[in-house]
Structure 1
């Protein structure tokens, strides 16, 4: 099945595994940017792309055409070398490639009702998984080799999730996350926690992957809204921060660690030892921070928390500064800084804003 044409200027957007670079696909080609500076470091104008995925900071890309040009079939995955500007390998499928995920050892290809797992160097097929119809390619992937999981919808009528162990190649668990079908999900970088949102978009839930239980709920708002993206903070120990963007145009930040430590009455570096598991345990609104009109209302957006800095004011008080980058599919990039002092007072500042479509590449970049 071919993907439907998008009305957005950007057809796809992704950050690499450590959020040091990001990529966009447009109707003209694809671009790679350095996240810290916003520098356009590579550009290839050869047609429309619906998938552009980086492998850490290497020269390897996984790219899939959007089908708007005959040579760029949505059923063909190309592994591309940005140093040489040439294709290394190509994989062809019977239906459109919706999503590609990769780490140092695995290549994951998601079709509408099937998943292929490859050994990335040899491209040997390790596993094939039949799934429920998943026309949007909804998934979550943790790139850590020690906790490498893939999460995909397990039902088309309810918000249940199948979690698959990508390294050991077996089903890990199934999580009944929501009553309504899923709209967004994300795994923490270490594969320990999964955040999910349903099509209602009012409640976001955090689940412990080890035993498949719901650990925490956070309320985005009282009225339904489409959740466009979810992202955990970069901490490798615990999901201390969770960010969400939605069709309302607001940016939501949930300080999970602060709430957990306050409720437990003590600090801990292991979330599992203090995280409440009561089905009615919803995050205190004091730990939910909202920036309204961060993105134009209704415009699809993708946000990541690139950096979280914490300063201890005392043994129990901590101030936090979070750096959040947003790619809007209308072609713009915004980077916001959220500061929270030890009295839980917040301030927002816009650090950077630029047009991704008109960015000028370095002389050394591709063309």
Structure 2
């Protein structure tokens, strides 16, 4: 996230959402999320990109375009603990994004993607892409299931690329004859081969995100009304969520660490959190209600089977009594009827009804700025970074959902980083 209206040029969460890296016109800093506090600061010139490798001391730095002494074409890998430079790399055009996991470093230029072995900084592969000025790209945080996702230059399903998705050939060079489509190319950074091509959306892709284990991909188009979740590398559509009816630019999409929730921020100054229940093909012709009431069977099933993280905070309600029994039976009958109706409806209609509504949401205290959203891996909190330089922490009701409550806000730019408590 870059913003030119204040001192902050860049901000992002690390791979496990435990830290925030910030680039400013003076330098860069690393801040811990919980407890909140600045842990490292270096004022050595403007930084347009600052990316961490989890919580290690390895940082990837790129200069800012509006600073003559700081080149946006130069990548620096530094060790903050030793205060040393590991390497410098110069690229033919401006670096638009940097992605890392424990084995792979990915550099995104407007028409090229460079893949490096992070252990020795050896160049492994170069992918030519269609013009990608927004650097739309996602890399698996997991090094064991390491996939790179980016907009495919070739439409599917008649694409020759789709036919060779299981071959050992690298993706073909992009050309002006292949305009950007709503398809996503999955590329294995381990075997350096195309793993699959996903027909994700009809409109061009606007955002991609991969979960912590490298098994799920979330996608959004330029319309920003529907978020889809796909299996990796099988490319099966597992979930489809309705962000809203009005088109909006998507600013960020992130899974929580246990892949039970998905958070989405957009230009409409709201954040939507969707619940990922038991996995099943979302392309089936069954009809789901747009959102599940807090006491419905769907809501409770979405919680079952989740392990680890802050899901332990949920205390499952004990169902009992005549009223709860009748409610369960009523829901079962309703689900049975809607499933039966789905078989008689045309595909276009079931596709229109299919997306599920958000489980929880929040409204940002300010409007007009960009923001990045993530879900804490240790507490039931939604975390937001704004382009104005603030960090917001919201509480989320993991059982009932609804509107999240703003608890605290911090400045990412002030040296004091004083907290402002917004709840009793």
Do Structure 1 and Structure 2 share a fold, with TM-score over 0.5? yes
Determine the structure 1 residue equivalent to 2:394.
336
Determine the structure 2 residue equivalent to 1:300.
370
Determine the structure 1 residue equivalent to 2:185.
162
Match of 1:252 among 253, 264, 272: 272
Higher helix proportion (structure 1 or 2):
2
Match of 2:75 among 57, 74, 77: 77
Task: Tell me, yes or no, if the aligned pair for 2:359 and 2:402 is still in contact at 8 Å.
Answer: no
Quick one: structure 1 residues 323 and 307, their matched pair in 2 at CA, closer, same or farther if it must change by over 3 Å? farther
Determine whether 1:222 maps to 2:240. no
1:74 Cα shift?
0.4
Determine the structure 1 residue equivalent to 2:26.
28
Larger Rg: 2
Determine the structure 2 residue equivalent to 1:184.
207
Determine whether 1:282 maps to 2:338. no
Quick one: structure 1 residues 308 and 240, their matched pair in 2 at CA, closer, same or farther if it must change by over 3 Å? farther
Task: Tell me, yes or no, if the aligned pair for 1:334 and 1:354 is still in contact at 8 Å.
Answer: yes
Tell me the secondary structure at the aligned position of residue 377 of structure 2. Answer: strand
Quick one: structure 1 residues 222 and 259, their matched pair in 2 at CA, closer, same or farther if it must change by over 3 Å? farther
Determine whether 1:350 maps to 2:424. no
1:347 Cα shift?
5.3
1:134 Cα shift?
0.6
Moved more, 48-57 or 254-263: 254-263
Task: Tell me, yes or no, if the aligned pair for 1:295 and 1:301 is still in contact at 8 Å.
Answer: no
Task: Tell me, yes or no, if the aligned pair for 2:375 and 2:381 is still in contact at 8 Å.
Answer: yes
TM-score (norm 1): 0.84
Match of 2:128 among 127, 130, 135: 130
Structure 1 residues 50-86: Cα deviation after superposition (integer angstroms, max 9, x where no partner) = 1101112111100000133333100000011212333
Distance 1:93 1:207 in 2: 33
1:295 Cα shift?
4.7
Tell me the secondary structure at the aligned position of residue 307 of structure 1. Answer: coil
Determine the structure 1 residue equivalent to 2:233.
210
Long gaps (5+) in structure 1: 271-275, 310-321, 362-367
Determine the structure 2 residue equivalent to 1:15.
13
Task: Tell me, yes or no, if the aligned pair for 1:259 and 1:283 is still in contact at 8 Å.
Answer: no
1:345 Cα shift?
5.5
Long gaps (5+) in structure 2: 154-178, 281-296, 308-338, 340-346, 418-424
After TM superposition, the runs of 4+ consecutive aligned structure 1 residues lying more than 4 A away are 258-261, 263-270
Distance 1:105 1:196 in 2: 24
Moved more, 89-98 or 167-176: 167-176
Tell me the secondary structure at the aligned position of residue 277 of structure 2. Answer: helix
TM-align CA RMSD = 2.6
Match of 1:231 among 254, 258, 270: 254
Match of 1:240 among 260, 263, 272: 260
Task: Tell me, yes or no, if the aligned pair for 2:361 and 2:402 is still in contact at 8 Å.
Answer: no
Corresponding residue pairs, total = 333
Determine whether 1:323 maps to 2:343. no
Task: Tell me, yes or no, if the aligned pair for 1:193 and 1:208 is still in contact at 8 Å.
Answer: yes
Determine the structure 2 residue equivalent to 1:360.
416
Match of 1:262 among 287, 298, 310: 298
Quick one: structure 1 residues 268 and 357, their matched pair in 2 at CA, closer, same or farther if it must change by over 3 Å? closer
1:106 Cα shift?
1.3
Distance 1:115 1:305 in 2: 28
1:46 Cα shift?
2.2
Quick one: structure 1 residues 353 and 124, their matched pair in 2 at CA, closer, same or farther if it must change by over 3 Å? same
